[in-house]
Amino acid sequence: MSGPDADFDSGQKGFMNIVNANFGIWNIPAGDVTNLQNLQTDWNNKYAVGGKGQKATRSAQQTKDKTDARKMYVSALRQFIGQWLKKNTLASDAQRKSMRVTVPDTTKTKHKDGIKHDIFYTQKNMGGGKHLFACRTSEDSTKSSTAPEADGVIISYSIVDVKALQAKASLLAEQAQQNPLPDANKKAADAIKLLDPPAGPEECDKQKTFSGAKFFLELGSANTGKTLYAFLQWNDSKNPGRVSAPGDLITINI
């Protein structure tokens, strides 16, 4: 609807040609179309004598009449588009685009590639189950920094009471020796398996997301003495699922 008169004139002609051919199919009242047709006629007549091509012969009043006719026509066109075209399910997006009606882009940009940068970190036990992590892109750096393609960090982690599990595994192993039944052996084997650290983020049972490269992980004083297994990944929150490869397994005594 904006731009030079010549561009507007070309666009409105194409718009009205499509409306005239389809308004019945689109269930648009004939009266509303007639109103546009009348405003189009008024624009055509006044543009013919007051447009830029008639600069040598047009009067100031003819130029003003042309401008006023365009304003009234544009106002009606915008109202018509909002009421009858933007959400009309009988009109296709292809038709809307051909009429220069804006079609919202509902697709999200997909990033096939993950974040390329490796992730490194320093960690400090602040006491009471609180740990400070400072992540960075370079192993040799001492300053926290976020990967250019990321805006934060995901930490996937599990908290394991290793001592308690070891005691349970030992007890079950003794019971299995005394009672060598398949069920007893399986319980002992399962208990020992729980001592294995997670192989990757997908095997962790907790996950948190933080913005920036520096964050506090609150684990609670009740977990003091237990073991934290964790993996860090750069995260792009604007594109869910876009992360870096996980760093090495982190093992920390809480």
**pLDDT tens-digit profile of 6-26?**
989 999 999 999 999 999 999
Q: Give the separation between CA 178 and CA 172, rounded to whole angstroms.
A: 10
Q: Give the separation between CA 150 and CA 234, rounded to whole angstroms.
A: 6
57 and 155 assigned to the same domain: no
203 and 125 assigned to the same domain: yes
Residue listed under structure tokens 């237990």: 226
83 and 171 assigned to the same domain: no
pLDDT at site 112: 54
Q: Both ends of the chain: CA-CA distance in Å?
A: 64
Q: Which residue range is the domain that position 192 belongs to?
A: 120-253
Which strands make up the sheet holding 130-136, listed edge to edge?
Answer: 120-127, 130-136, 214-218
80 and 169 assigned to the same domain: no
How many structural domains does the chain have? Answer: 2
User: What residues form DSSP beta bridges with 243?
Assistant: 235
145 and 240 assigned to the same domain: yes
Does 85 score more than 80 pLDDT? Answer: yes
Instruction: Grade residue 168 by pLDDT with cuts at 50, 70 and 90.
Output: confident
Instruction: Grade residue 2 by pLDDT with cuts at 50, 70 and 90.
Output: low
Instruction: Grade residue 141 by pLDDT with cuts at 50, 70 and 90.
Output: confident
Instruction: Grade residue 233 by pLDDT with cuts at 50, 70 and 90.
Output: very high
Does residue 112 belong to any structural domain of this protein?
no
Over pLDDT 70: what percentage of the chain? Answer: 91
Query: What dihedral do alpha carbons 157, 161, 166, 168 form, nearest 10°?
Result: -120
Domain harbouring 183, CATH code: 2.60.40.10
Kindly report, residue by residue over 86-130, the tens digit of the pLDDT.
999 999 999 999 999 988 765 555 555 789 899 999 999 999 999
Kindly report, residue by residue over 183-216, the tens digit of the pLDDT.
766 776 666 666 788 888 988 889 999 999 999 9
Structural domain ending residue among the three candidates 98, 131, 146: 98
Q: Give the separation between CA 225 and CA 221, rounded to whole angstroms.
A: 9
Does residue 107 belong to any structural domain of this protein?
no
pLDDT at site 119: 95
Q: Name the residue type at position 56.
A: A
Tell me what the mean pLDDT of segment 239-244 comes to. Answer: 91
22 and 74 assigned to the same domain: yes
Compute CA distances 84 → 1, 22, 31, whole Å. Answer: 17, 12, 13
Which of 21-35, 166-180, 223-237 is least confident? 166-180
Residues ≥6 apart with Cβ < 8 Å to 170: none
Tell me what the mean pLDDT of segment 40-50 comes to. Answer: 96
Q: In this structure, what token pair is assigned to residue 71? A: 């304003």
72 and 157 assigned to the same domain: no
